[in-house]
Structure 1
Amino acid sequence: MVQGLLEESSLQLFATCTLDAESTVRKPNRVASQLFRPCTLDITIYGPEDLFEDIGTWFQEQDLYLQDPRQIHFDAKYCNPHKLSVDDIDSCPTVSDVVRQSSRSLLLRDVPDRLELLDLLSNGSELEETQQPVVIRAALKKHQKQALTFMLRREQGWAFGEKQADVWDFLNRVSGAHQNEEPPPFYGGIIADPMGLGKTLTMISLVATDLDRNSTENTTLDIDEDSKHVFWQRSSSSPLLVRQKKPSIEVDPCTSYPAAWDFGAIMGRPGLPTSENWKPGGSILFSVRWRRIILDEAHFIRNGNSRMARAACELDSISRWAVTGTPIQNRLSDLAALLRFIQVYPYDDPKQFEADISRLWKSGEDEEATKRLKCLSGCILLRRTKATISLPARRDMTCAVDFSHEERAAYDEVREQTITKIVEALHTNSEESRACVYVNVLEQIESLRLICDLGLYYYTRHNRTAHSPSASDEWAATAQQAFNVQREMGLVVCLQCSSTTSLTESLLGENHDTSPSRHQPQFFRCLRFACVDCVRKLQRVKQTLGCGHRPSCLVAPVSISHSVLEEVHAAASDTASTPHTALPSKVQALVTDINAMSADVKCVVFSTWRLTLDVVEKGLENAGIRSIRFDGSVPQKERQSVVDRFKADPGIRVMLLTLSCGAVGLTLTVASRAYLMEPHWNPTLEEQALARIHRIGQSREVTTVRFYIRDSFEERVIELQNAKKHLARVLLSPHDGNQSDDSLETKSVALSPAAYDSHFGLWVRS
């Protein structure tokens, strides 16, 4: 049938082949899985008017019937011989009219549920319930009372001779090793319930059990679950205020540190220990022994070499608790850092964790590695699935959007530029020159992603540049953008101390870029990075910072503040402001879907960039939909009032929220529909954002919609996301060849430039 069409020279055929979702069934070999994946083939046919009837007959003979087009290749008149119409050909609509009309009825596809590694480690369902502390006024749920049982047992130390299993029982039950001496005492553990199960209230209840043991007279504990304000008043009038204040939780004793010590608890996110006065020896916090340390969002110390991890481990206490919904993100050593913090012998030494567990994973002994990991986690880690609580259902959907003809042309232009740069890199022998090309590729990749959001509102860089800046000026102007992309895609390693910087760490860490530029992190054009500590040390001893190349590559200061992640480079900040510019296709799809919802359904729209939210805001205004903004430009003191207005005003249907602001610290259960405007490199960040809505307190079924542009670079980002989500499948399936580290990602996808993908002209490291 297709061959017959091709033989007619007056016809033009445009074909699009879309791979269907990959089956979770493991294929017998890699070749078969690549050759036999199911797909959908769309063919759009353009031809002269005089073949109209013949084309209809030709397809009808093949028992095929033409459907409305999905994409625009030429904006010609559209008339379908298989579609009943009273119009003559001259009165037919254009292809663009039909495509845009059909986009108003969005095709949403369900995202299948996937098993996660951490769900395999779930435990705690058999635990008894501990009576909640008298001073807690909020009613604890069953799983929170069971968590109290687990934590109170763990704070009694090793369970030698007890009924419940523990790491030690004359010998190490994980590795089988034995020793003559009793292991050092251990009090504490890891609470790894997923987001939305009320871990904060659970930990506050643990602290409150100390008050039950002592006098509870004239003691009350009021908790505002939405704002996470906790007011603790004792008869001695020595209050402790634990206050959430983005980007960290800070301890704010109203009297003095000794008063805080009297309560015996520090509750804080690990951004707190990174400030100057939290250095060991620089604060009273390091000069006392605390009854209990609770480290919230503890996965941010997974880099054991980081300043915050070292400071957290230096704090002295009897009991230590790490609280995180994602104790393992990308590699097994993430867990090793938490074990070091809670000081569980012998795995307080990362080298021992490497020897007993990680080494087995690397050598392909998956079953034994998994067995040991389950044994260890079953003793010191509490993890329940979201099914533990009766949350309303959450339905995850994807929505593929097609570019308009003009948007596709703009996108393809930047795509061709990207491929050209990659070809240049392939033929460059110099490492320094190749790295410079990589920088340009990173910029082009970001441009491709921005065009997917902004459509014709995006102006390419060469249309903006009116002069040729010097190389140093150009790098100073583009270093931040390249650095942002690099850390969004994965870890950035300091060339001096090997500490790492990642996107998720910066979202909860304090801003260190308020000091002069000489004390900011430095980013070289060869993509090498020096952290602020190393920059400061070199400045102190008057040494010059170098990247290792001769001569040294261009270098520029960069910010690790979360707010810079919302910004785009100057090339994209010029947007078409004329009223005749059509809204981007993706924004049109968003507005269409929100318009189709009942007026009492509140929605949250997430995007990486403020510029995208600007365009979304314009589209909502044009449609008469009221919205409210929450991004990095909103002053800290005004943020709670923004949330309160969204909750209280029934006329405000939409909150526009950047991922960097929405990933932590908010409760938005008043909304029941969430939109992600673009796929992000880090799926964990997306899940943290969506957990603001689907959590305790939600009374409606929740729907999430992830937009992406069909046949674009965004599909490659989704592939990488899926690889990172398949941690359980990777851990429990046989290896293909040797594994060089304990990474849980598949080997075919990666996070930064190094191997060529011919379809979109990208670089990925395998």
Structure 2
Amino acid sequence: MPESSDFLDVLSSHVDLEETPQPLAIRTSLKSHQKQALTFMLNREQGWGFNRGHADIWEIVDTGSGRVFLNTISRLYQPEEPPNFFGGIIADPMGFGKTLTMISLVATDKEAEEMADICMDDSETHKPDIAATLVVIPPPLIGTWEEQMRVHVVDGQLSCRRHHGKTRIMGVDEIDSVHIVLTTYHTVSADWKADQETGDSPIFGVRWKRIILDEAHFIRNGNARMARAVRDLEAASRWAVTGTPIQNRLGDLASLLRFIRAYPYNDPKQFDADVSRRWKSGEDEEAVNRLKRLSACLLLRRPKGAIDLPPRRDLVFEVDFTPEERESYEKIRHQTITNIDEAFGNDVTPSMSYIYVNVLQQIESLRLFSNLGLHYLSRHTKPSRQCLEPDQWGKNAQRTFNSQREMASIFCMQCSSALGLTETLLDDTAHPTESAQFTSCLQFICGECASKKYLSGKVVGCEHRPPCPVAPVSTSGVALEEVGHLITSNIEPVSFCLPSKIKAFIEDIKGVPRDVKCIVFSTWRLTLDLISRGLEDEGIKSIRFDGKVPQKDRQSVLDSFNSDPNLRVMLLTLSCGAVGLTLTVASRAYLMEPHWNPTLEEQALARIHRLGQSREVETVRFYVRDSFEEQVMKMQESKKQLASVLLSPHDRENSTDNLGTLEKLRSLL
């Protein structure tokens, strides 16, 4: 089956659409592609096209014995008229101004006096209709949507309010005069759970004009509570907005079709029968053609070249260690190689998990050392085998889990839901989530599945006998940014010396014109701490945006960076800043280390190279010569999945497979 990027190429639509006139409530001049998107959405909100001149799943065919309905995907006929459907998927890539496009769709309601006459079959619901649009978003994007409305909407034309935390809606009367209600995925999930018990949730007690899911790929696990909750919301039309409709598998798209209720593909089994199964049976060409036909009907995705952006220049800066740094780095590298060689030397491996976890941690140490240099101080130069014992695994589980998660999405062993780095965007302090679990044989159990097991009295853990040690882990962005096993010494200012990589960064940024703003990404807050110190010593003013910045303060941080001409640099962690932000006030971006996942790197760099950018953009990637970072860069260039080397199954009973994995790891060192 093709990679997800190949699927996205298949989904791209090149059809020239007419441009809908700009809504009067929008003050910003819409681009052509945004007005074309309005045309697509307004067409889809009229229900099935049948024979109205644009592609659709269903066509009416007149036969001698009457009319029948043709499914244009499967080419099968049925005599009954299919249930109507309103909405679709907006899947333009990053940087297309999708938020403004969706606000503009809501603005068209004001100009359509007959707006309420677009309905689904009323037999499904007896809930009162309201004219408002419900927008479901990750918490950090609440401020983004509010800011976009302030900037782009004519004063007094569209009203907006939150349903989240302390600003929750208590009754339907609070929505009567509102055009847009902003809420979060976890709020909907919590309200859904409460509504099943009491039946008095205001957001589940009405039928909305429309529902918009922003970053809709977060419901890709169709069986998760969050996905079930948003599916139970009632609306006249339903829109899923995501730049990545397919992330890990074709089933991701099936979950979106289930949400928008596009008959018959609101049933995942039908999607599997008509599309997915064609790949499984080797009918690749037919599968691609069906996917293309389906996406042409319901999904809008234009290629990146469809919008004019300023030029972007990508630079790669090579850094050399000092002799002292090289000596310390080589000690860690040789220790890692020794550990692997010891594993090869043993005929019987009593604890393959110990060796594997140890190697993972030392590889993380090599990556950290490349950033921190001699400031890297490990509490334990060589973890003991006890680290996998029940009382010790808790101290090591989070670090190992973070390493695994950085490499690629981790899948729950119970429900197969994927947990990627961008899921930190869902962190919601108003709704704490259940604690996930992680075993020493590297099996992950998501919080929802772990909670179900606990409630049913079952043991949470792996299937090995005896079961491996298990410990709770945090899936939050704050946990990802931590380097819990490290200490930073309190070095006197006189003896303070920057690591080579950070010194190279400071030297470069000193040469950047004062009117050019920069953003700096790193996986770890500790790297940003040292950068902040270096910038301070040079009199360069910076601001932080990481997991420790409370949600309520994040918009003010962005506002300060946008408006203060003396604030030249923003320091961000990848888990916090790689998605969902628009930072076009900056035109230079730095990545302080190569990441396992090049897609995440590209998402981070897209914060500045997107609609609204008026200057030429430069991006700078740093790596240390002759280091593990160089191997990561090479793996990225060859487009191999490093994750396939590092995240293959780790069954302690299968020593041969594990030794093969370690052998691949050794080749990278």
**What is the correspondence of 1:86-165 to structure 2 with a 5 Å cutoff?**
118-119=8-9, 121-123=11-13, 126-165=16-55
Fraction of identical pairs, as percent:
55
User: Per the alignment, in what secondary structure is the counterpart of residue 300 of structure 1?
Assistant: helix
CA gap of 1:277–1:381, structure 2 versus 1, over 3 A, is closer
What displacement does 1:524 show?
A: 1.6
Decide whether the 8 Å contact of 2:132 with 2:178 is kept in 1.
no
Does residue 175 of the first structure (1) align with residue 94 of the second (2)? Answer: no
C-alpha distance in structure 2 between counterparts of 1:358 and 1:575, whole Å? 57
Aligned match for 2:449, one of 517, 534, 553: 534
The match for 1:756 among 646, 661, 665 is 661
Deviations 1:291-343 (A, max 9, x none): 21110001111122322222222222221110011112233222222122112
CA contact (8 A) 1:489 1:681 kept: yes
* 1:210 and 2:109 aligned: yes
Does the Cα contact within 8 Å between 2:100 and 2:148 map onto a contact in 1?
no
Describe the shift of the 1:747–1:415 C-alpha distance in structure 2 as closer, same or farther (beyond 3 A): closer
1:410 to 1:178, Cα distance in 2 relative to 1, 3 A: farther
Matches within 5 A, 1:499-648: 499-510=417-428, 514=432, 520-571=435-486, 573-574=488-489, 579-580=494-495, 582-648=497-563
Contact 1:669 1:695 (C-alpha < 8 Å) held by counterparts: yes
Gap change, CA 1:147 and 1:491, over 3 Å in 2: same
Aligned match for 1:695, one of 578, 603, 610: 610
**Aligned mates of 2:299, 2:663 — CA distance in 1:** 44
Residue 458 of structure 1: how far off its partner (Å): 0.7
- Which has the higher mean CA deviation after the structures are superposed, 170-179 or 272-281? 272-281
Q: Is the 8 A contact 1:478 1:569 kept in 2?
A: no
Structure 2 counterpart SS, 1:481: helix
Q: Distance in 1 between matches of 2:276 and 2:357?
A: 34
RMSD over aligned Cα atoms: 3.7
CA contact (8 A) 2:582 2:607 kept: yes
Give the corresponding residue for 1:492. Answer: 410
Shift of 1:290: 2.3
The structure with the greater share of residues assigned to helix is 2
Question: Max radius of gyration: which structure?
Answer: 1
Query: Cα distance, 1:575 vs. partner?
Result: 7.4
Q: Once the 2 structures are TM-superposed, how far is the Cα of residue 675 of structure 1 from its aligned partner?
A: 0.2
| Letter of the structure 2 residue corresponding to residue 378 of structure 1 | A
Alignment match, 1:345: 263
| Distance in 1 (alpha carbons) for counterparts of 2:91 and 2:362 | 38
* Cross-structure match for 2:138: none
Measure, in 1, the Cα distance between the counterparts of 2:456 and 2:211.
36
Matches within 5 A, 1:636-715: 636-715=551-630
Normalised TM-score (structure 1): 0.73
C-alpha distance in structure 1 between counterparts of 2:350 and 2:210, whole Å: 50
Distance 2:511 2:387 in 1: 49
Q: Which residue of 2 aligns with 1:459?
A: 377
Q: For 1:555 and 1:405, how far apart are their aligned partners in 2?
A: 41
- Following superposition, the deviation at residue 579 of structure 1 comes to 4.4
Partner of 1:685, secondary structure, is helix
Q: Go from structure 1 to structure 2 and tell me whether the alpha carbon gap of 1:723 and 1:511 turns closer, same or farther (over 3 Å shift).
A: farther
- Whether the aligned pair in 1 keeps the contact of 2:38 and 2:105 (CA below 8 Å) is yes
Counterpart amino acid of residue 153 in structure 1: N
Unaligned runs of 5+ in 1: 1-114, 244-248, 727-744
SS of residue matched to 1:449 = helix
Cα 1:748–1:542, aligned 2, differ >3 Å: closer, same or farther? closer
**Inter-partner Cα distance in structure 1 for 2:646 and 2:388:** 33
Match of 2:99 among 191, 200, 210: 200
Report if the CA contact (8 A) 1:720-1:750 is conserved: no
Relative to 1, partners in 2 of residues 1:581 and 1:374: Cα closer, same or farther, differing over 3 Å?
same
Tell me if the contact between 1:464 and 1:571 (Cα under 8 Å) persists in the aligned partners.
no
Secondary structure of the residue aligned to 1:228 is helix
Judge which range, 465-474 or 368-377, deviates more.
465-474
Contact kept? 2:387, 2:396, Cα under 8 Å: no
Q: Please say which of residues 606-615 and 331-340 is displaced more in the overlay.
A: 331-340
Q: Does residue 290 of structure 1 match 2:208?
A: yes
Structure 1 residue 160, shift from structure 2 partner: 0.9
**Aligned residues of 1:418 and 1:441 also touching (Cα < 8 A):** yes
Q: Secondary structure at the match of 1:462?
A: coil
Aligned match for 1:318, one of 228, 231, 236: 236
Check the 8 A contact 2:312/2:609 in 1, yes or no: yes
Secondary structure, aligned partner of 2:209: strand
CA contact (8 A) 2:11 2:296 kept: yes
- Shift in CA distance, 431/201, structure 1 to aligned 2, threshold 3 Å: farther
The 8 Å contact of residues 646 and 661 in structure 2, kept in 1 or not, is answered as: no
**Runs of 4+ more than 6 Å apart:** 223-226, 231-235, 427-432, 464-470, 745-748
**Residue of structure 1 in register with 2:147 after alignment:** 228
Report matched runs for 1:228-377 at 5 Å: 228=147, 230=149, 240-242=160-162, 256-260=171-175, 267-268=182-183, 270-275=185-190, 281=196, 283-377=201-295
Describe how 1:385-424 pairs up with structure 2 within 5 A: 385-424=303-342
Deviations 1:158-197 (A, max 9, x none): 1111211212224222232333323222211110112222
Q: For the Cα contact (< 8 Å) 1:251–1:267, is it kept in 2?
A: no
Cα distance in 2 for partners of 1:200, 1:376 equals 24
Structure 2 length-normalised TM: 0.82
Q: Secondary structure at the match of 1:319?
A: strand
Q: 1:258 to 1:492 in 2, by over 3 A?
A: farther
Indicate if the aligned counterparts of 1:457 and 1:575 stay in contact, CA closer than 8 A: no
Q: Which residue of 1 aligns with 2:120?
A: none
What is the rounded CA distance, in whole Å, between the counterparts of 1:592 and 1:318 in structure 2? 56
The amino acid of 1:659's aligned partner reads L
Structure 1 residues 467 and 547, CA gap change in structure 2 (3 angstroms): closer
Deviation at 1:512, TM superposition (A): 8.9
Deviation at 1:267, TM superposition (A): 4.9
Q: Go from structure 1 to structure 2 and tell me whether the alpha carbon gap of 1:408 and 1:129 turns closer, same or farther (over 3 Å shift).
A: same
What letter corresponds to residue 12 of structure 2 in structure 1? S
Give the superposition deviation at 1:459.
1.6
- Letter of the structure 1 residue corresponding to residue 160 of structure 2: L
CA contact (8 A) 1:566 1:658 kept: yes
Contact 2:422 2:579 (8 Å CA) reproduced: no
SS in 2 for 1:367: helix
Which residue, out of 427, 444, 447, partners 2:365? 447
Q: Deviations over 1:356-407 (max 9, x none)?
A: 3333334554333322222111111111234333321222222222323322
Q: Distance in 1 between matches of 2:91 and 2:357?
A: 38
| 2:211 alignment partner, SS class | strand
Task: Point out the more displaced range, 332-341 or 373-382.
Answer: 332-341
What is the CA-CA distance between 1:609 and the residue it aligns to?
A: 0.6
User: Any idea what SS the aligned residue of 1:285 has?
Assistant: coil
Q: CA deviation at 1:470?
A: 9.3
3-state SS of 2:316 partner:
strand
**Aligned position for 1:475:** 393
